Amino acid sequence: MLTYMIWKTHEAQKGRIPLGPRKNAHREGVTFKVLPLRLESQVVDKLDEAWRSRGIKNRMEFFRGARSRGRGCALCGRHRRVNVSRFRDIARRHPI
């Protein structure tokens, strides 16, 4: 781990990696919170298969896409609620 940190520091000093928070992480007038999400490893494997097979670039984009297609939560102003604990049931009913 120490070797990695030394290498990473040298890369930053040479300007090869960005420093600080990502520029796209900030939006004017918007505050973000990170939520912990605990799922069984088999469920995560199914979710990973789903987003990869659909050409989605990562898990977060997969979740954002689900939210933007009308499956978001009531707190976000959506008309339907998403029960995260139901991912396991969905994965069982719709195997990939």
**What are 65's two structure tokens?**
């896409």
Q: Where are the domains of the chain?
A: 39-96
Alpha helices in 1-96 (DSSP H): 2-13, 41-53, 59-66, 87-93
Yes or no: say if 70 and 79 are a contact pair by the CB < 8 Å rule. yes
pLDDT along the chain (96 residues), means of 10: 88 87 74 82 88 88 74 46 57 60
Model pTM above 0.85: no
pLDDT at 84: 53
pLDDT at 93: 64
